[in-house]
């Protein structure tokens, strides 16, 4: 019996998901645990894994498609079951439902073709399995153009004529990247090729006023474009607006002498180099963040409406920026039980989670249960900034860079490294004086970093 794989609910607030990239194709053998696809939720791009063994019979959605949770996205044929039978089950269900997956019956899905003895018969079988005659535009047979919902939306928003676009998706389907290529690369060509209404109305006898040419600008050319928000971007926008409009923020800033910590880090990394360990400044900051929460539990609290929850462990969320190819934005992997972890383990956890966030995406569990958040822009050369609280947490720390500057040490002006840290607090949960006391402990730990090794 065919095995249906539907769009899973990968987060507690997920209502729909976007199939970013298929990692399998029709006809592939898959086993439980295999990486089937990358799915973008409202929070992050995550791996979709198989929970059964089988062969891929049908890819029911295309890359770039956004479908509701519970919608069929892939059909597996069980061991001993023919791919044609599995594909037929999908097409029968689609034709009967009359909604959602109707396109599956008319060629909008990738279906595994039965074995063939030569190329021609293989092509014929594949076309038949994909929905019969008139189902698609591939194979030179013509028919209606297939366009993914995301691609059609982008085209409508940017005034792009879909009829002239050759799709690069499965079976010639026009997908998101095809339309974006026209939007991003074809604006100038369209402008020069298509006369404006004013130009068309101008009589040929009307003299055209020439303008003196200007020298080419040495800077790059800007282009106007509309960017469709991903599900994760929408969620980030919604949560940030919610935080700034419903949480009474206050900020407290402290300047910290970083010279002792930088010296200790240099010594430790020289000793650990042979073991392949390299501690970052952020590892020390994460450790200090957690230990300071032990001394000031109010900073490790959450607002719960008519109660305040003080947590029994410190789970430090670390903001990680994603590359544009993964949709951009921020995710917050969590270092759990951070108050009981040494620098080396904190370093290992942070590197592993940050790499996974940027490469394949984090699981909901890896982003859950944070009790305090750390945002560090120091590596970008930022001196000081403020961060927006991640509800229901009470505190977020905004960490600037260790900037070399003239400073006063023991009554003398010398060159030293100073770092600004700004605490943003939820005034319903933590008071300004309590925030200042927390930062006082944090500053003491950073300026006396040997305490972080205990």
Residue 44 has pLDDT above 90, yes or no: no
**CATH level 3 topology of 149-190:** Dihydrolipoamide Transferase (4.10.320)
Q: What is the pLDDT of residues 330-373, one digit of tens each?
A: 889 999 999 999 999 999 999 999 999 888 888 888 999 999 99
Tens of pLDDT, residue by residue over 363-385, are 888 999 999 999 999 989 999 99
Q: Between 190 and 42, where is the model more confident?
A: 42
Give residue-wise pLDDT tens across range 126-161. 333 333 333 333 333 355 677 776 778 788 888 888
Q: Do residues 24 and 34 touch, judged by C-beta distance below 8 A?
A: yes
For position 39, what pLDDT does the model report?
A: 87
Catalytic residue of the set 35, 249, 296, 427: 427
Question: pLDDT class for 417, splitting at 50, 70, 90?
Answer: very high
Over the range 79-106, which residues count as b (16 or more CB within 10 Å of their CB) and which as e? eebebbebbbbbbebbeeeeeebebbbb
CATH of 3-135, one of 2.40.50.100, 1.10.1060.10, 3.20.20.210, 3.40.50.80: 2.40.50.100
Task: Please count the residues of the chain.
Answer: 454
Residues linked to residue 119 through DSSP beta bridges, in sequence order = none
Q: Phi then psi for 317, rounded to 5 degrees? A: -85, 135
Catalytic residue flag (residue 427): yes
* pTM confidence score: 0.63
Closest CA to 421 of 248, 285, 264, 244: 285
Domain ranges across the chain: 3-135, 149-190, 248-453
CATH value of 248-453 in 3.30.559.10, 3.40.50.410, 3.40.50.1100, 3.40.50.720: 3.30.559.10
């Amino acid at each position: 019996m065919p095995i249906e794989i539907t769009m899973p609910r990968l987060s507690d607030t997920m209502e729909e998901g976007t199939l970013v990239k298929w990692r399998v194709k029709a006809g592939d053998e898959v086993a439980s645990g295999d990486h089937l696809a990358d799915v973008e939720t409202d929070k992050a791009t995550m791996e979709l894994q198989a929970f059964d063994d089988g062969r891929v019979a049908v890819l029911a959605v295309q890359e770039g498609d956004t479908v509701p949770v519970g919608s069929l996205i892939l059909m597996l044929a069980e061991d001993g079951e023919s791919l044609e039978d599995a594909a037929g089950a999908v097409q029968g269900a689609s034709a009967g439902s009359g909604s959602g997956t109707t396109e599956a019956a008319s060629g909008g899905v990738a279906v595994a073709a039965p074995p063939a003895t030569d190329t021609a018969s293989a092509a014929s079988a594949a076309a038949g399995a994909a929905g019969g005659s008139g189902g698609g535009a591939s194979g030179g047979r013509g028919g209606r153009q297939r366009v993914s919902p995301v691609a059609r939306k982008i085209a409508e928003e940017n005034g792009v004529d879909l009829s002239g676009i050759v799709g690069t998706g499965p079976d010639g389907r026009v997908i998101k990247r095809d339309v974006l290529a026209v939007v991003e690369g074809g604006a100038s060509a369209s402008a020069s090729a298509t006369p404006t209404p004013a130009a068309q109305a101008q009589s040929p006898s009307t003299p055209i006023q020439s303008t003196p040419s200007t020298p080419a600008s040495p800077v790059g050319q800007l282009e106007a474009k509309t960017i469709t928000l991903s599900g994760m971007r929408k969620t980030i926008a919604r949560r940030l607006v919610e935080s700034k409009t419903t949480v009474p923020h206050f900020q407290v800033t402290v300047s910290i002498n970083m010279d002792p910590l930088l010296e200790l880090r240099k010594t430790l990394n020289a000793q650990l180099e042979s073991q392949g360990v390299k501690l970052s400044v952020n590892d020390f900051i994460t450790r200090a963040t957690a230990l300071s929460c032990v001394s000031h539990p109010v900073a490790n609290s959450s607002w719960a409406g008519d109660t305040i929850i003080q947590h029994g462990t410190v789970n430090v969320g670390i903001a990680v920026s994603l590359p544009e190819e993964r949709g951009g934005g921020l995710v917050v992997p969590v270092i759990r039980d951070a108050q009981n972890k040494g620098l080396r383990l904190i370093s290992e956890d942070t590197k592993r989670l940050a790499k996974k966030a940027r490469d394949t995406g984090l699981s909901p569990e890896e982003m859950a249960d944070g009790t305090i958040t750390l945002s560090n822009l120091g590596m970008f050369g930022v001196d000081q900034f403020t961060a927006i609280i991640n509800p229901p947490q009470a505190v977020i720390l905004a960490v600037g860079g260790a900037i070399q500057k003239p400073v006063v040490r023991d009554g003398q002006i010398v060159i030293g490294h100073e770092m600004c840290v700004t605490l943003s607090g939820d005034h319903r949960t933590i008071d300004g004086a309590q925030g200042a006391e927390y930062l006082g402990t944090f500053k003491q730990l950073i300026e006396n970093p040997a305490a972080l090794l205990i």
